[in-house]
Amino acid sequence: MSYYIRILGTQDPDIHLDDISEELDAEALSAQFGVLKNEKPEKWSVFELKNEKGKLLATVERNPVTTEGIGREELDEFKQTILEFQPASAAKWLHEFFDRVKVIYAIELLPIGLEAENYHIITTTQGIIWDHVNGILQADEEGFTNEEGYHILWQFPDDADGEWNCAVLNAEGKWENFNMDLADEQQRSAFKAGKVPEGAKKVK
């Protein structure tokens, strides 16, 4: 079963595969790219991300948000579904942010891509794209982040646990960042209410 991470960007520049390759090299990571025959490394709509052994880790698809097409369909679906989740302040912020989104990059991770020796290749690729498009992140069974990468909407499964970097909007409309325990029911309730949970560690 595949797993998706998405990058929703407010800018839509062409991202050369060489830029991604250089960043991977800087992190001492080796990867291969597979592009369609009719596409170029400086202008692509989709590519395959493989490890140095040629094993397929993920597929990265670029979907501009136009009047129609996959990008528009995904964005419209997000607009409808987020209103069901909390905190309400984050859902409202996201709904307004979506009006600025120009492109959605959908990264489909295969199970092998989630293995420790491969996952850093994917997160580094995600990071360089994110840097270029000035946007936010969304992940299956997690939800959305703000522009700093802090989680802002509760879409986790009921059995979620572990520490997680999150943020809520304060009265001035600014993000307050913190690290919380996802399994702590009191911290969950506070986060869903748009409050910094008692016991959470604030992050500057």
Burial (CB < 10 A; 0-12, 13-18, 19+), residue 184, is middle
Please state whether 157 falls in left (phi above 0), alpha (psi between -120 and 50) or beta: beta
pLDDT digits (tens, 9 = 90+) for 154-195: 999 999 999 999 999 999 999 999 999 999 999 999 999 999
pLDDT digits (tens, 9 = 90+) for 43-88: 999 999 999 999 999 999 999 999 889 999 999 999 999 989 999 9
Question: Where in the chain are the domains?
Answer: 3-84+101-142
Domain 3-84+101-142 has CATH 1.10.3470: no
Q: List C-alpha distances in Å: 19 to 8, 13, 30, 92, 148.
A: 19, 12, 14, 34, 21
Sign of the four-CA dihedral 164, 151, 103, 42: negative
